[in-house]
Amino acid sequence: MLFTLVFCSLGLNAFAVSGPVTLNVDVPSGQWKGIRLRSLPKDAVVAVQVESNGDILVGLVDAKSYQAPADKRRPLFMGRVEKRLSFSVTTQKSGDHYLLFDNRTGTETRVVTVTVRAARGTADQMQAANRILRGFERQLHRIFVFDPFPIGVKKCGEPKAFVDKAGVILCAEYVYHLYDIIEDQVKTKDALSFSIFHEIGRVLLSKWKHPFSFNIDVADEFATVLMVMVKQEQRAAGAAVYFEGNPTTTVVLNKLFQDERHPLTVKRAQNVIRWLKDPELVRNWQKTLVPHMQTSLLKGLKAKPTPWTDLPLVEKELAQRDKKTI
């Protein structure tokens, strides 16, 4: 009842990529074929990789151009493939689009393999991510008492994870590079979720004057606590298990970002796995958390304690607040 807030992977779906989708197409001699890409938004970035067993013409057009006579089509892209061709296009309008494979001048059937990946335009991604992250901060205020801090996402111009020690400003490049290297949307969301909770934990501990607020291991443990409390422990476990089992990927990412905090190292991932198995983890943090919890939340915990609720501590804190209001 208390922690039914929808965190939606902290807005990571704002950066979601459709695909990759791989299709095989046979285009007989003297013919052409089209593949429909449904309902692309305006300013979407469409990345295409084409492999063929011989020369063929490939193009990308919008729905209006697709319906026009062949000599009046205005393709967003047109190129000739001999063996392999990669290209990307930014859509100019929303709606269906079509990949065209033209073998009308060919003398043999062309066997084509095409891989398509689509993503929102950068500006749209940034606006969506900032909107959701600001909503995430509002949700945090429903749980804890703290002074507002900067939170959002921006293009940093270099491979960095976060750029504001006083807040949580995520670099869009961190998202893109994580996805390119991990090559799995779920694992990327897990890794990015833990990074954001780590930064949230670091900032909250700093604002609460915790003596070890800048200690990486303390911030990791607190991030794990927060993720358990808001029912995101599967994300924490997913990130930890991935980085523990992929030390080579960890080395590549650490060299790229040169950030001691992001992403997780193998040793830190092992710590997270150990903490998640500890049934007393969240309860052990209640002395830090309870004084900074919203009164409405404390009353809810008193009425319906969770397994980790320190009820005497909650009652003591509520009694002290009642005295201050008299």
The residue to which tokens 């965190």 are assigned? 7
Question: Residue 205 pLDDT > 50, yes or no?
Answer: yes
Better-scored residue on pLDDT, 126 or 224? 224
| Residue 2 burial (10 A CB sphere; 0-12, 13-18, 19+) | middle
Give residues with Cβ within 8 angstroms of 63, minimum separation 6: 95, 96, 97, 98
Q: Is 114 left (phi over 0), alpha (psi -120 to 50) or beta?
A: beta
- Report whether pLDDT(118) > 70: yes
**Mean pLDDT, residues 218-228:** 96
- Give pLDDT tens digits for 96-114: 999 999 999 999 999 999 9
Q: Residue 85: which domain range?
A: 22-120
161 and 107 share one domain: no
Do 28 and 132 reside in the same domain of the chain? no
Examine the pLDDT at 15 and tell me if it is beyond 80: no
| Residue 186 vs residue 14, higher pLDDT | 186
In the DSSP assignment, the letter for residue 144 is: B
Tell me the CATH number at 31: 2.60.120.680
pLDDT tens by residue, 236-271: 999 999 999 999 998 899 888 888 999 999 999 999
Domain boundary among 101, 120, 139: 120
Run of H or E residues at 100: strand 95-102
Number of structural domains, the chain? 2
Pair (141, 116) in one structural domain = no
Tell whether 230 is covered by a domain: yes
Give the model's confidence band at 3: pLDDT under 50 very low, under 70 low, under 90 confident, else very high. Answer: very low
| Domain match, 128 and 241 both | yes
Contact 232, 7 (CB under 8 A): yes
In a domain, 102, yes or no: yes
Query: pLDDT band at residue 19, thresholds of 50, 70 and 90?
Result: low
Tell me whether residue 302 is in a domain. Answer: no
